[in-house]
Amino acid sequence: MKNFALTVATLTAISASPLLAGGLADLDADASGTLSMEELQAVFPDLTEETFGAIDANADGDVDMDEAQAAVEAGVLPATG
C-alpha cells in the first residue's frame, strides 16, 4: 500500500507538468519507435524508475506508443497534443 501511495504522489507530480506541443511520438528523440526513461525524463524530470516501470507494462525497458497512450489515458502522463 505504501508503494501505491508513493506512485500516486509521483504520478500527481508528473501530471502537473505542462502539456507538450505535438504528440507522444515527438518525444521519441532517437526515432526508435519507443520511449526510453531518458527521453521521458527530458520532458517529465520527476519521473521515477518505479513509475517508468509501471508505464512499461511488458517490462522490456522501453515504453512503446501503446503503453504511453495507456499512461495518458490512465492519467499517469499528461496528454501531449
- CATH code where residue 61 lies: 1.10.238
pLDDT in tens, 34-79: 999 999 999 889 899 999 999 999 999 999 999 999 998 998 887 7
> Which residues, at least 6 apart from 28, have a Cβ–Cβ distance to it below 8 Å?
34, 35, 39
Report the pLDDT value the prediction gives residue 16, as an integer from 0 to 100: 40
On whether residue 78 sits in a domain, the answer given is no
Helices (H) and strands (E) in the chain, counts: 4, 2
Report the pLDDT value the prediction gives residue 61, as an integer from 0 to 100: 97
C-alpha span between 58 and 4 (Å, rounded): 19
On whether residue 80 sits in a domain, the answer given is no
On whether residue 81 sits in a domain, the answer given is no
Q: How many domains does the chain have?
A: 1
Q: Is 77 helix (H, G, I), strand (E, B) or coil?
A: coil
Q: What's the predicted TM-score (pTM) here?
A: 0.69
Which of the four pLDDT bands, split at 50, 70 and 90, describes residue 2? low
> How many residues in total does the chain contain?
81
On whether residue 40 sits in a domain, the answer given is yes
Q: What's the domain range around 60? A: 2-73
On whether residue 18 sits in a domain, the answer given is yes
